[in-house]
Amino acid sequence: MGCKSLTTLVLSKNFLLEPVPDDENLAELDGFLNLKVLALGGCQFTGQVPSWLAKLKSLQALDLSYNLITGSVPGWLGSLPNLFYMDLSNNLFEGGFPTELCGMPALTSEETGDHKVQESLLELPLFVKPTNATNQLYKELSQFRRAIYVGNNLLDGTIPIQIGQLRRLHVLDFRHNNFTGSIPDQISNLANLEILDFSYNHLSGAIPASLRSLNFMSFFSVAYNDLQGLVPSGGQFDTFTISSFEGNPGLCGPPTMRLTCTPQPPPPQPVGGGSSFNGKLPTGIITAIGYGIGFGIGFWIEINKKKFLCNLKCIFKTCRSLINQMTKRIQKICTVDQQNNDSVN
């Protein structure tokens, strides 16, 4: 293919709504074996991550963001020896976060052989817009933040505790997914971490107090989860605002709205110590009472039918007699009034 000298390939915002190229020959010996930067973001690619990427042993930065890629995040990406920047955000990835990615050689430790980022100039300066930042121009690969972006996908499951092995990581972005479980305490091992975003997931439990030891962390968000307990204080946590913690009613302590973590008192019991009664009968009880009264009346009538009909007949007879008497009295009054009027005339 004549691409052995190619080190940077940027094809962002092209090939709209086409399948991801999956030709295995793209990474053969005469292919992209010296490729260091591959950017295919914003193409709305469909399909899954092509397996030929596993052959790009020189790859250091991979951008597949803003596509329609489905399937799971391939664990073999963690075997690429030089990969330190990976952006898979804004796709349709499902499943969990592979534990294999927690052992990426370029992100684990300084003693991983010859996996250091080379401080060579890029043939083409790159513009990158990371999360919560403006466009940034990079002329050297060494200036890239070591980052993993998997936000805005459909990932679920728990965050693996092995993530604490990525000691050289600067950015960890898991926002807008469906992760559950607790925040691993092992994240406190990521001493170089600058950005940590777990917002808009379903994480529970407490925020590990050990995270306050991350002295380089300038952005932190766990907003809109199901976290509880006291927000850590000290270190960089004293610089974070309420927006980092909002959407977690169970969190307490500054800077949340619940400044103290005093348990809320239980609602007062009704006088008399019986069951809770708020002055309203449940609908089921009201219905049962209604049925009971109706059944009781009907049953009594059936048992005492003859007596009931007799009494009812007497009532009607008495009412008719009273009406006749009242009618006669009214007629008599009207006659007297008429006679008086005639006398006056």
In a domain, 274, yes or no: no
Q: Please report which confidence band the pLDDT of residue 95 belongs to, taking 50, 70 and 90 as the band edges.
A: very high
Q: In terms of domains, do 18 and 106 share one?
A: yes
Identify whether the C-beta of residue 97 lies closer than 8 Å to the C-beta of residue 160.
yes
In a domain, 95, yes or no: yes
In a domain, 259, yes or no: no
Q: Length of the chain, please? A: 345
Q: In terms of domains, do 294 and 242 share one?
A: no
Question: Phi and psi dihedrals of 309, rounded to 5?
Answer: -65, -35
In a domain, 242, yes or no: yes
User: How far does the chain reach from its first CA to its final CA, in angstroms?
Assistant: 133
Q: Which of 252, 269, 304 is the last residue of a domain?
A: 252
Q: In terms of domains, do 41 and 188 share one?
A: yes
Q: For the segment 294-310, what is each residue's pLDDT rounded down to a tens digit?
A: 545 554 445 454 455 45
Please tell me the least confidently modeled range out of 85-99, 152-166, 255-269. 255-269
Q: For the segment 228-253, what is each residue's pLDDT rounded down to a tens digit?
A: 999 999 999 999 999 999 999 999 99
Q: Of 200, 163, 202, 167, whose CA–CA distance to 182 is shortest?
A: 202
Q: Please report which confidence band the pLDDT of residue 3 belongs to, taking 50, 70 and 90 as the band edges.
A: confident
**CA trace torsion 52, 21, 7, 66 (10° rounding):** -110
Q: What is the mean pLDDT of residues 202-224?
A: 96
Percent with pLDDT over 90 in the chain? 53
Identify whether the C-beta of residue 59 lies closer than 8 Å to the C-beta of residue 53.
yes
Q: Does an H or E element contain 62, and which?
A: strand 61-63
Q: In terms of domains, do 244 and 295 share one?
A: no
Q: Which of 207, 232, 252 is the last residue of a domain?
A: 252
Identify whether the C-beta of residue 123 lies closer than 8 Å to the C-beta of residue 7.
yes
In a domain, 223, yes or no: yes
Q: In terms of domains, do 100 and 219 share one?
A: yes
Q: In terms of domains, do 86 and 134 share one?
A: yes
More confident residue, 9 or 164: 164
Q: What is the mean pLDDT of residues 311-328?
A: 58
88 to each of 60, 64, 67, 277, how far by Cα in Å? Answer: 14, 5, 9, 55
Q: Which domain holds residue 155?
A: 8-252
In a domain, 3, yes or no: no
DSSP code, position 224: S
| Residue type (1 letter), 216 | F
Identify whether the C-beta of residue 147 lies closer than 8 Å to the C-beta of residue 173.
yes
Judge whether residue 2 has pLDDT over 50. yes
Give the number of domains in the chain.
2
In a domain, 341, yes or no: no
Q: In terms of domains, do 321 and 195 share one?
A: no
Q: In terms of domains, do 184 and 305 share one?
A: no
Domain containing residue 144: CATH number: 3.80.10.10
* Residue 281: predicted pLDDT: 41
Q: In terms of domains, do 173 and 297 share one?
A: no
Q: State the CB neighbour count (10 A cutoff) for residue 315.
A: 10
Q: Is 272 left (phi over 0), alpha (psi -120 to 50) or beta?
A: left
Q: Which of 196, 227, 252 is the last residue of a domain?
A: 252
Q: In terms of domains, do 52 and 188 share one?
A: yes
* Residue 146: predicted pLDDT: 95
Q: In terms of domains, do 166 and 239 share one?
A: yes
Q: In terms of domains, do 12 and 153 share one?
A: yes
In a domain, 202, yes or no: yes
231 to each of 141, 171, 210, 255, 257, how far by Cα in Å? Answer: 37, 21, 11, 8, 11
